[in-house]
A = this chain, B = another copy of it.
Amino acid sequence: MELRELFPVWEKLTPEQQRQVEAAARPRTAARGAMLHSGPADCVGFLLVRSGQLRVYILSGEGREITLYRLFARDICLLSAACMLRGVQFDVAIEAEKDTELWVLPADRYKRLMEESAPLANYTNSVLAERFSDVMWLVEQVLWKSFDKRLAAFLLEEAALEGSDTLRMTHETIGRHLGSPREVVTRMLRYFQGEGLVRLARGSVELTGRERLRELAEG
């Protein structure tokens, strides 16, 4: 995809700003498994995904990982331009989960554009707020309330009772069993699906990663 089709609020940039973006952006590819970013010192720049898939995660001292979110075509990655964001200093890692094509814009260039352009600054705000929210939600549910463990344990128990890896249950029903709102169940099941632990269909949940669900439930 072309830069002008991908770059946020392109239509709202001035011709001069558009020219600057085109002059500064560089295409880059990342093979599946490649690390694009690790640690707070790294500053790859502002990333724009053309195709493929990136995974953004944190790593504990003992090497455990939590996926924070994934980025697909058209998504932008701000954390890779952390140096641009005053004070961002946590150890996020970014890997290519599939062969990925990107546009890379140097962080200082993006920052200058944002200072000039209210639409770009507002777009950036909304992305930042959304990521902040996603990450906090996950942190609360996973690290703070251990909802991922409880859900994994529940799914395994149900599968054992039913003698089947495909559970015919609504998210609402699961939520009633675990004392959690349906929205929380749905969101965590989608997270599990992203991690390859389950496959979701209307009215059913299929367990596709029993071993890892067990590790999660017991971990």
Contact = CB atoms under 8 A, between A and B. Distances in A.
A109 to B, nearest CB: 15
A128 B121 CA distance: 12
Nearest to A180: B61
B118 A117 contact: yes
Contact of A90 (B58, B85, B133, B143): B133
B121 A125 contact: yes
The A contact surface, by secondary structure, is helix
Contact of A89 (B89, B115, B133): B133
Interface residues of A, number: 37
A130 interface: yes
Which of A60, A126, A139: most chain B Cβ within 10 A?
A139
A68 to B, nearest CB: 9
A116 interface: yes
Interface string A129-143: 111111111011001
Interface of A: 58, 60-61, 66, 85-92, 114-118, 121-122, 124-126, 128-137, 139-140, 143-145
